[in-house]
Chain A
Amino acid sequence: MAQEELDKAVSGEYALGFEIDIEEDKVPPGLSDEVIRFISKKKEEPDWMTELRLKAYHKWLEMEEPHWGHLEYEPIDYQSISYFAAPKKGPESLDEVDPKILEAYEKLGIPLEEQKQLAGVKVAVDAVVDSVSVKTTYQEELMEKGIIFCSISEAIRDYPELIKKYMFSVVPMNDNYFAALNSAVFTDGTFVYIPKGVRCPMELSTYFRINALNTGQFERTLIVADEGSYVSYNEGCSAPMRDENQLHAAVVELIAHKDAEIKYSTIQNWYPGDEEGKGGIYNFVTKRGLCEGENSKISWTQVETGSAITWKYPSCILKGDNSVGEFYSVAVTTLAQQADTGTKMIHLGKNTSSTIISKGISAMKGQNTYRGLVKIGANAEGARNYSECDSLLIGDQCGAHTFPYLESKDAHGQVEHEATTTKISDEQLFYLRQRGINEEDAVSMIVHGFCKEVFSQLPMEYAVEAKALLNLTLEGSVG
């Protein structure tokens, strides 16, 4: 098949690139103690939080931006970014949410009215525009079971003890350059607490939208699953199409106590930029889960289709004996996108086990890197890991790279690693077309087949969304 046909087939237009015209409250670009105090004040935060932010900021000033990723990009000018933007109208109830924001979420297919359900299933949504949460649904219904589901700003004001106990406990404020920046300037995000023995009765979800120009988004999410509880949480995101790069540096911390399980799914669809690499989101994200108690389980599933640059390694610290960590990932890089993504599985407890399934798809000039670390501590008797990293290349201008690292202090650890790189072959396409399936559907069928193991991990309604998104990314009919 001709290269340009392939390119067309894999460069679907970014459908979520619209901008909403809302009145924004925005701080001038640049970072200083004053700006941080301003953000903290805007959020009506207690002094202890302001102090933590300033501490993080001063640590950040002493740190250096990391460049070990297999990524190439123009230097980021941190003084040209605005660190706070909020829709001017602060809503008290849904009736007061700016209709333009409601409309925007409607366009994105995210219902903010509780009676409207996503694919007929009840999903509680926290909607974040730029730096603030504009609406959280089903809060009361969840509260009846003792479940806290609110914006992180609210949590800092209303649940200071939980925040003091858990925030920075998994990702310390100086963990890395981007985590330190986030700790200083984080604006909104979601807080979830599931009490002992409670199984969260619905999917929880946050939808992040960058809207304002020259603004970074720095959300922070914290999920705590107390003993014997269960929660499935999903996040989605999108941004307008712009010629400038925008920075997104998020931190997510998960804590699973004894017998608890957290399932965290991401569908990442930030604006990817154009085929020359102009515009697009720089996505530098730190995600880490702590399996604190025995028999706890944390499972990360991610479908990464957007962003110009992705730097992201959702990880698990398997501290509790018999705890389980999982990482299922599909990363698509097309146009001029670059992704350096993977995971770390840190085995500390006995009989801990982890599974890594990574599927990288590269097309056009996309560059896709898997980077993973499996570390087995001295006391992690009986630890087991299985890793599988597969790369699929579409066309001949793209690239796939795999960097698996293993550190084992326990001779009894059992580690298996498999890696493959394949190309969509002309022979596969011809076979499907000979059966009457058109070229575009044939490409899509082969790609979906490749991603199957990961999609099967997503909650059903999100699997449908992920498949549709993948089709859109690969759209642009051929022939």
Chain B
Amino acid sequence: MSNVVMEIENLHARIGAKEILKGLNLQLEEGKVHAIMGPNGAGKSTLSKAITGHYDVEVTEGAIRYKGQEIVDWEPEDRALEGIFLSFQNPVEIPGVNNAYFLRTAVNAKRKHQGLEELNAAEFLREMKALVQELGMKPEMINRSLNEGFSGGEKKRNEILQMMMLQPDLIILDEIDSGLDIDALRAVSEGINKMKDGKRSFLVITHYSRILDYIEPDYIHVLKDGKIIKTAGPELVAELEEKGYGAIEEA
């Protein structure tokens, strides 16, 4: 077994008064693609929020260890600087904030954290433009306000663009395929697949198996009622397709 990048142990978390995660255990391995599948309301998005330190989610019990460190009390930006990236299901619009300016600030915050020199505007733009083209985005997206007036597909491509620029170590993709047409899905998946380098880990959160035809997972975890109830290889996808989540029994 490869190295474990994240270990989640007996995680209990609630939103408001409602307990959503009820003793969840999960290990994410370095260089692997983990898919979390499960019915609506099982706690998939809550899991991604707990890992990234979202203000809605309160962890009441258990541990999240990332690269050997307990991160439950860490600020969201510190988790990000240490390499955790979340591709949002519904990226929020921020009017007047230039997309390139935002992304350069983020990239340089990370470079500073790593003790690297900041990228100047020219170097940064060269890199960003190349990726914008690769992802099939319109060049004017570079100077638009962050996510403002972007279509669903444009927002998702912009998430992937940020992911590629920030070079994270653990990438969480929350319903990345929702609202994507087939071309966008292909461009987004190609971007993700290019990021696979044998070191970087992925946590693909999805309700449908469609995205898994494009990003081949190493492990499938079934999340139901706040717990992982089954972990298996990619062959589980076909079984789930056929029988649905109802047929999966707790192991």
Q: Could you list which residues of chain A lie within 8 angstroms of chain B, going by C-beta atoms?
A: 1, 425-428, 430-439, 441, 445-446, 448-453, 479
Q: Chain A contacts of B103 at CB under 8 A?
A: 435
CB of B52 within 8 A of CB of A434, answer yes
The answer to whether the Cβ of B54 comes within 8 Å of any Cβ in the partner chain is: yes
CB of A428 within 8 A of CB of B96, answer no
CB of B94 within 8 A of CB of A446, answer yes
Chain B residues numbered 42-79 whose CB sits less than 8 Å from any CB in chain A: 52, 54-55, 75-77
CB of A436 within 8 A of CB of B94, answer no
Bound complex: CA of A452 vs CA of B113, how far in Å? 28
Highest count of chain A CB atoms <10 Å: which of B97, B98, B105, B162 = B97
Q: Could you list which residues of chain B lie within 8 angstroms of chain A, going by C-beta atoms?
A: 52, 54-55, 75-77, 80-81, 85-86, 88, 91-92, 94-98, 102-103, 105-106, 109-110, 113, 145-146, 162, 166
CB of B55 within 8 A of CB of A426, answer yes
Q: A448-B96, A450-B96 known; A437 and B52 CB under 8 Å? A: no
Highest count of chain A CB atoms <10 Å: which of B77, B105, B109 = B77
Q: Chain B contacts of A437 at CB under 8 A?
A: 77, 105-106, 109
Q: Chain B contacts of A436 at CB under 8 A?
A: 77, 80-81, 106, 109-110, 113, 166
Q: Which residue of B lies closest to A425 (CB)?
A: B92
- Nearest-CB distance from B87 to chain A (Å)? 10
CB of A445 within 8 A of CB of B102, answer yes
CB of A433 within 8 A of CB of B97, answer no
CB of B54 within 8 A of CB of A430, answer yes
CB of A449 within 8 A of CB of B81, answer no
Q: Which residue of A lies closest to B145 (CB)?
A: A449
- Nearest-CB distance from B203 to chain A (Å)? 14
Q: Chain B contacts of A430 at CB under 8 A?
A: 54-55, 76
CB of A449 within 8 A of CB of B109, answer no
Q: Which 3 A-B pairs have the closest CB atoms?
A: A449-B96, A449-B97, A435-B106
- Nearest-CB distance from B119 to chain A (Å)? 14
List 26 A–B pairs whose Cβ atoms lie within 8 Å, in order of A's numbering.
A1-B55, A425-B92, A426-B55, A430-B54, A430-B55, A431-B91, A432-B106, A433-B75, A434-B76, A434-B85, A434-B86, A435-B166, A436-B77, A436-B80, A436-B110, A436-B166, A437-B109, A438-B75, A438-B109, A439-B75, A439-B77, A449-B97, A449-B98, A449-B146, A450-B96, A479-B75
Bound complex: CA of A450 vs CA of B94, how far in Å? 9
Q: Chain B contacts of A427 at CB under 8 A?
A: 92
CB of B92 within 8 A of CB of A433, answer no
Bound complex: CA of A438 vs CA of B80, how far in Å? 10
Q: Chain B contacts of A433 at CB under 8 A?
A: 75-77, 80
- Nearest-CB distance from B47 to chain A (Å)? 15
- Nearest-CB distance from A141 to chain B (Å)? 35
Q: Chain A contacts of B94 at CB under 8 A?
A: 428, 431-432, 445-446, 449
Q: Chain A contacts of B102 at CB under 8 A?
A: 432, 435, 445
Q: Chain B contacts of A1 at CB under 8 A?
A: 55
Q: Which residue of B lies closest to A422 (CB)?
A: B95
Q: Chain B contacts of A434 at CB under 8 A?
A: 52, 76-77, 80, 85-86, 88
Q: Chain B contacts of A428 at CB under 8 A?
A: 92, 94
Bound complex: CA of A426 vs CA of B55, how far in Å? 8
